[in-house]
Structure 1
Amino acid sequence: MELIPQTGAGKKVCIVGASGKLGRYMVKHALDRGYEVVGVCREKSVHKLADYAGRITVHGAFTNDREVIARAVDGCDAVLTVLVPWGVHDYASGTAKAVMDFAKPGARLVYSCGWHITRDGRDRYKRGIKAAVAFARFMKITRLVDIADQYRATDMIFASDTRWTVVRGSDLEEGPSQGLPVWSRHVGDPVLESNLTRRTDFALFMVAAVEDDSLVREAPAINGRLTPSALAHQGEAAA
């Protein structure tokens, strides 16, 4: 078996959105690396973390609940946050603000979102991604999704002086790990052409970012390490 370096030994990490598919993978990777793990998720989803009972501390609440976030991130060396554009009540931006307000000074703050988020406007999107974003904007009328709030959340993060990283994920699939994904600063770069990452590897990148100072104040767009474009353009990846 491959020896997993215990980079998290003696450190504490909070995972906000721990019960989702990505969150549960992050919990696993963080525990594998020796972190003490605190999770936050909706009360009705706490049961999804049953496999980790006795190994992690779980706070059941909406992730934009400021009082709960304040308790959960207390003393944490890092906070990993899944930014979801649910509802029309500033869920993503409220979550991000609570994390930034209550995380201890100097904590590593790592956030997840999709390729549609842009930091500098230099990303180049194909028609499929543009169509998906347009549909998500339309879905606001259902009061289930507000993708604009995710833009507000990440703009707030980009403007902050915290030690942030915003990890922008490609399309996702299940399957065994292929290793740490490659990344580039801009969607449209050749190394990202395949637009596919194993979900477990997205989570792996999030956890690894905690110890990677080269990613501080970066918004890496990631892609699976063994995808055709990653293999064809290995020298062009930023990692």
Structure 2
Amino acid sequence: MRIVIAGGHGKIARILSRHLADRGDDVVGLIRNPDHAADLRAAGAEPVVFDLEKGTADELARIVEGADAVVFAAGAGPGSGAARKDTVDRGGAVLLADAAEAAGVRRYVMVSSMGAGRGGAGIEDEVFAAYQEAKKAADEDLMSRDLEWTVIRPGGLTDEPGTGKVTMAPETGRGTIPREDVARVICAVLDDPASDGVVTEVISGDERIAVALADLTE
């Protein structure tokens, strides 16, 4: 498969690139900073410089044309304000969906956020509330489209080694998950057409990823 990952220099994206490349997939990682190109190549991905905040859907469509799937794993990142949560976490996701539609790419996997379905309701921290609102809007935009989409909402992210065991459900309750296991879940849903139309939270648990996904989609 040819997979285009938005947010290619993020930790999850680099781990995902390594997993996909190791199994023989052709991986393209979108980066804003050309200085990050070497990191992507080391992970097995082809770096392409594209700014989700400044580029157009037509420009991005030319990059994703011919791909089997796109993955949105971008984010404004820590230290960014509420405005960039909207322009990256919402606007970037919408731009990727526009480009996918224009290029005829049907499969779209969204890396969202636990609790995104509720948006910023009840969250006192202004920036985190804006982040959750951006994720909610991005998810809802994607779910309104005639694409083969899956929305993954991971719990608190850690850099611990992955275990390959998770809990997946529309609502799992609070919990954490290694970034490596999030990447493995993305790999699994890319391979599973039954995950089309699925929205799931995911945290560390006791089921192997393949089993947890099968239980979710049966």
* TM-score, structure 2 normalization: 0.79
Structure with greater proportional helix content: 2
Structure with greater proportional strand content: 2
Are the aligned partners of 2:116 and 2:133 in contact in 1 as well (CA < 8 Å)? Answer: no
Distance 1:45 1:185, change over 3 A: farther
Kindly provide the amino acid, as one letter, of the partner of residue 105 in structure 1: G
User: If you compute each CA radius of gyration, which structure gives the higher value, 1 or 2?
Assistant: 1
Which SS does the other structure have where 1:210 is aligned? helix
Matches within 5 A, 1:53-202: 55-64=44-53, 65-66=55-56, 67-84=58-75, 88=83, 90-103=87-100, 104-105=103-104, 107-118=106-117, 133-135=123-125, 138-139=126-127, 146-188=131-173, 195-202=175-182
Distance 1:61 1:209, change over 3 A: same
The percentage of counterpart residues that share the same residue type is 21
Alpha-carbon deviations, 1:199-234, whole Å to 9, x = none?
1000111122111122111111001134xxx69xx9
* TM-score, structure 1 normalization: 0.73
Please point out which of 196, 202, 212 is paired with 1:222: 202
**Please, what is the CA RMSD of the aligned residues?**
3.1
Are the aligned partners of 1:164 and 1:216 in contact in 2 as well (CA < 8 Å)? Answer: yes
Q: Which runs of structure 1 show a deviation greater than 6 angstroms over 4 or more consecutive aligned residues?
A: none
Are the aligned partners of 1:180 and 1:205 in contact in 2 as well (CA < 8 Å)? Answer: no
Kindly provide the amino acid, as one letter, of the partner of residue 107 in structure 1: R
Alpha-carbon deviations, 1:78-125, whole Å to 9, x = none?
11111525552532222222222222435210010111211xx6xxxx
Which SS does the other structure have where 2:19 is aligned? helix
Matches within 5 A, 1:14-29: 14-29=4-19
1:43 corresponds to which residue? Answer: 33
Q: Which blocks of at least 5 consecutive residues in structure 2 are unaligned?
A: none
Rounded Cα–Cα distance in structure 1 between residues aligned with 2:40 and 2:25: 18
Are the aligned partners of 1:181 and 1:202 in contact in 2 as well (CA < 8 Å)? Answer: no
Kindly provide the amino acid, as one letter, of the partner of residue 115 in structure 2: H
Q: Which blocks of at least 5 consecutive residues in structure 1 are unaligned?
A: 1-10, 122-128
